[in-house]
Amino acid sequence: MIDRDHALPVTQQARLVGISRSSAYYQSRGVSEADLKLMRRIDELHLEHPFAGARMLARLLRREGIKVGRRHVSTLMKRMGVEALYRKPNTSRKHAAHRIWPYLLRNRKIDRANQVWALDTSYIPMARGFVYLTAVVDWASRRVLAHRVAITLESCHAVEALEEAFAKYGLPEIVNTDQGSQFTATEFTDAVLSRSVLLSMDGKGAWRDNVFVERVWRSVKYEEVYLKAYDSVSHARRSIGNYLSWYNQNRPHSRLADQTPDEAYFATLPAIKSAA
């Protein structure tokens, strides 16, 4: 992604792709086996207690006999891209140079396909190491329209998933994300706004804004990820892709009157608006 021989300075390249300058120079080190196991357990606890911050998670882990401090838990949470979901003052932003867009969905009735799409990224543990799963989900039907499995949180992966969804399903009225740097990066916001689609962002740490996508992640993780031990990134991509196809076609939802996401999506799909 960063081309050191390009005419643009590395600093400017990093800003354009939505990563910090320090990460462009950082030489990554492998994560220890102990930390990988700890990250897996933090992920499970975060799914069960999304309101829990590093302090509470450290206490929960110590009750299980795992000796760990709050600061180490906080470091691993940042590496995983997870944080406690609760309303708090917006005293900091994921990327200081990026604009945060207002949340547009409060009190809005969402009842048809392609009215609102949500994008989110979640940590996915493997047998050794981890990857990130970014998904484009139709809000009304729960249908996963596109996804990417990647080893980094760079904005290009979110853009690729969004562009695939645009090409296959047309344009939604609104795209909603959290305030992660991969979504506030210019590369991503331009992909949305250049097509006259509205961009909405969850309030920082506001669990009510995130709860719909969190339910999708719960299904993905308990019905697929936690049952597998992916031995490679390609294995993770293949297996998660197979699960999401099954999820769309076969998994009924009580909130959809026991319809599958495919049935709910295509039943309320308006005429497709071109993404060109």
Spell out the domains of the chain, with CATH numbers in brackets.
29-84 (1.10.10), 116-267 (3.30.420.10)
Task: Provide the pLDDT for residue 110.
Answer: 92
Residues 6+ apart with CB under 8 A from 38: 61, 66, 68, 76
Task: Provide the pLDDT for residue 50.
Answer: 85
Phi/psi at 130 (nearest 5 deg)? -160, 165
Containing 201, the helix (H) or strand (E) segment is strand 198-201
Would you say 173 and 198 are in contact if contact means Cβ atoms under 8 Å apart? yes
Phi/psi at 260 (nearest 5 deg)? -80, 160
Phi/psi at 45 (nearest 5 deg)? -65, -40
pLDDT along the chain (276 residues), means of 10: 61 64 50 93 92 93 95 94 66 54 90 95 94 96 97 94 98 94 94 96 65 87 95 96 98 93 91 64
Containing 162, the helix (H) or strand (E) segment is helix 155-169
Task: Provide the pLDDT for residue 89.
Answer: 42
Both tokens of 131, joined, read 């990857």
Residue 32: exposure state from Cβ atoms within 10 A (0-12, 13-18, ≥19): exposed
Computed on alpha carbons and rounded to an integer, the radius of gyration of the chain in Å comes to: 19
Task: Provide the pLDDT for residue 26.
Answer: 40
Task: Provide the pLDDT for residue 72.
Answer: 96
Task: Provide the pLDDT for residue 170.
Answer: 96
Task: Provide the pLDDT for residue 209.
Answer: 58
